[in-house]
Structures are given as C-alpha cells and as structure tokens.
C-alpha cells in the first residue's frame, strides 16, 4: 500500500509499471532536437479541426488511442483516466475524452499536470483500486496565447523571459505488471509564492517551488544526491533552470551535472526563436512520453527524477495584480 517517508513523499512498494506511452506534437516541436522521439508530428496547427481548442482536444484523443494501441488494451481495460490542460474548465480534456467512457478525473496543475496525473494514477494502482490508469495532458500554443496573453492577430512583442507554449499531448498507461519503467517514489509539492507578478516570467515564479520539492525529496528519501542519472524539471526554461540550480546549491544540493529542464530540451532556442524555451502542460508530457521513457526502456538511463512545475495563476488573477503561486511534483522513475 505504499510507505510514507515524510510529510510529502511516499515510496510505492509495488512499483507500478509504466506499461505504454505516446506523444503527438506540432511542427515546431517535431522540428526541434527531440523530434525523432515523438510518435507523430502534426504540421497543421488546426489538426484538421475548426479551431485551436478543437485541435488540442484531438491531440489528446489521438494520443490516448496510441497509448491504448501500444499497450494492446481497449478503453474497457482502463479503470481511470487522469487528464488536464491549460484551458478554462479543462475543456481540451473534457471534450477530447468525453467519448472514451473511461471514469475521468479532470486535473489542473498548470504545467505540473503530467507529474500530478502520474502521481495520482500510480497511487491508484499502488492502492489496489485500479489495474490500469491512463495519465495524460495537452497544451497548444495558439489556444494558450489566446487565453493567457493576446490573440495571435494582435502581434504583441514577447520579452526575453517569455516561454513558448508547446503544441501537443503526451501520456502514459500505468499498471500492475510488465517490464517497463517503474514509479518508485512520489513527492507531492507545496504551493510556493515568492511574490512574482510578471506573467511573462514563469521561470522565476516556478523555480522556488521546484527547489522546495527536490529538496524535500532528497531529505525524506535519504537518497544520495547522485542517485539519479537525470533530474529533469518541466518547465522552467533557461532562466528558471539557472535560478533553480542556484537555489538548490544554497540548500546544499549540487546536481548541475545531471540536471536539465524539459523547456530547455524541446527546442533549439537559437534556431527556433523560442526565447527562454518551452512551456505548457504538453512540454513535460511529451518529453517524458518521448525522450525520457524511451531512454529508460533502452536502459540508456536507469533512474530519473521527473519534476513537473506549474504556475497556478489565471488571466483574472494577473489582471488584478495578484502574485503567481507555483507548485512542483516529483516522480522517481526507475528501471528495476
């Protein structure tokens, strides 16, 4: 049933297995450094639909289909699906998955949603309440710009600290049996608010939350700092990654040699003009369900700490001058 190691961390004694995974991305992501790791690259930002929002729902729906196909199961074999996105009332997930008839938990953790869903799905399997769960999320550059900033037609300028919302969807199926990567630890984050109010600087808002959760993970597990071959946040971008490393060092945690960020990894910032890097729910989701899990399954990596980071603001809160709360959830994934 799992062992609580502290206030925030649980060791999953049955080590739920990530049985299958899939990722579908847009053109910009597919032409980036990780393009060969994704299952499908969609050149049309509308994905054949009438709106960006409907396109995002299709990204989710098609990714779910690939997860089930690769896992050789049907929707009837899935007990729960944990899903979310960046849009109001999680409409991408709600509309995209409404025909699946799988019991559904809608989540909002902003860009931490993939780690949040993987945590909850793994705990459901660990507790014996499900044989299999799907954990999945999405984002879309055009729908996110419309909701959080300005419609694309406005042509507003982007400051250097801004990040580029990833277009795509990624997800996994977690179950009891199999030979795939296993979820061994989960560390649930606390809401951290350092008073950042700039909605174009998500890295500064989220870096303290990432530092807080990573620190808690090592403190409560007692693992050595070099235990993981890769600690990957998602998604702080270039500025946030550097800030997080500096904050960790202040806490006595030096992990620079094996630390990276999904927002930095997914784009070539120089060639693709993506400012500080990638962001959005799909950023960490597609890097996990593409690059990271492929590396684990080939045993090119054996132990990864996946840390999803999210900024828990809304357009209304920003307009009212509120600061930006942030959160980070860590999932320890290993080839056992």
Nearest to 64 by CA among 46, 82, 51: 82
- Looking at residue 198, its pLDDT comes to 84
Name, in order, each residue with C-beta under 8 angstroms of 145's C-beta and a sequence gap of 6 or more.
151, 152, 165
- Looking at residue 162, its pLDDT comes to 72
25-50 pLDDT, tens digit per residue, is: 999 999 999 999 999 999 999 999 99
Looking at the predicted structure, is the pLDDT value of residue 84 above 70? yes
Calculate the alpha carbon distances from 27 to 34, 143, 280 in Å.
Answer: 12, 15, 16
User: CATH for 182-334?
Assistant: 3.40.47.40
Rounded CA-CA distance 70/92 in Å is: 23
Q: Would you give the DSSP letter of residue 320? A: T
Name the E strands within 27-103.
40-42, 80-84
Rounded CA-CA distance 212/293 in Å is: 25
- Looking at residue 159, its pLDDT comes to 60
- Looking at residue 143, its pLDDT comes to 83
Rounded CA-CA distance 235/159 in Å is: 17
Least confident range from 17-31, 139-153, 274-288, 306-320: namely 139-153
**Range 184-190 average pLDDT:** 98
**Range 197-224 average pLDDT:** 94
Rounded CA-CA distance 15/17 in Å is: 6
Q: Where in the sequence of the chain do the CATH 3.40.47.40 domains occur?
A: 3-175, 182-334
- Looking at residue 121, its pLDDT comes to 98
Domain 3-175, what fold?
Peroxisomal Thiolase; Chain A, domain 1 (3.40.47)
- Looking at residue 96, its pLDDT comes to 95
């Amino acid at each position: 049933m799992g062992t609580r190691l502290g206030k925030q961390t649980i060791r999953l004694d049955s080590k739920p297995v990530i049985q299958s995974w899939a990722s579908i991305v847009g053109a910009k992501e597919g032409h980036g450094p990780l393009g060969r790791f994704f299952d499908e690259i969609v050149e049309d930002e509308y994905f054949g639909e009438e709106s960006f929002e409907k396109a995002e729902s299709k990204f989710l729906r098609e990714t779910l289909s690939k997860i089930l196909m690769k896992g050789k199961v049907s929707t009837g074999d899935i007990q729960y699906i944990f899903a979310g996105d960046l849009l109001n009332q999680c409409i991408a997930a709600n509309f995209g998955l409404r025909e699946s008839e799988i019991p559904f938990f809608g989540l909002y953790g902003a860009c931490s949603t993939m780690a949040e869903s993987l945590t909850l799905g793994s705990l459901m399997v660990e507790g014996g309440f499900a044989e299999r769960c799907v954990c999945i999320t999405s984002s879309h550059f055009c729908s996110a710009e419309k909701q959080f900033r300005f419609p694309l037609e406005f042509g507003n300028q982007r400051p250097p600290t801004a990040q580029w919302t990833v277009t795509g969807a990624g997800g996994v199926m977690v179950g009891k049996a199999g030979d795939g990567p296993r979820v061994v630890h989960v560390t649930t984050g606390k809401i951290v608010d350092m008073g950042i109010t700039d909605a174009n600087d998500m890295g500064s808002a989220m870096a303290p939350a990432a530092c807080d959760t990573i620190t808690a993970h090592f403190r409560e597990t007692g693992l050595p700092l070099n235990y993981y071959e890769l600690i990957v946040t998602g998604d702080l971008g270039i500025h946030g990654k550097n800030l997080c490393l500096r904050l960790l060092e202040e806490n006595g945690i030096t992990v620079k040699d094996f630390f990276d960020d999904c927002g930095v990894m997914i784009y070539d910032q120089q060639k693709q003009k993506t400012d500080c890097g990638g962001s959005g729910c799909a950023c960490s989701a597609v890097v996990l369900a593409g690059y990271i899990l492929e590396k684990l399954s080939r045993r090119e990596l054996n132990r990864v700490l996946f840390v999803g980071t999210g900024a828990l603001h809304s357009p209304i809160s920003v307009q009212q001058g509120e600061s930006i709360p942030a959160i980070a959830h860590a999932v320890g994934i290993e080839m056992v």
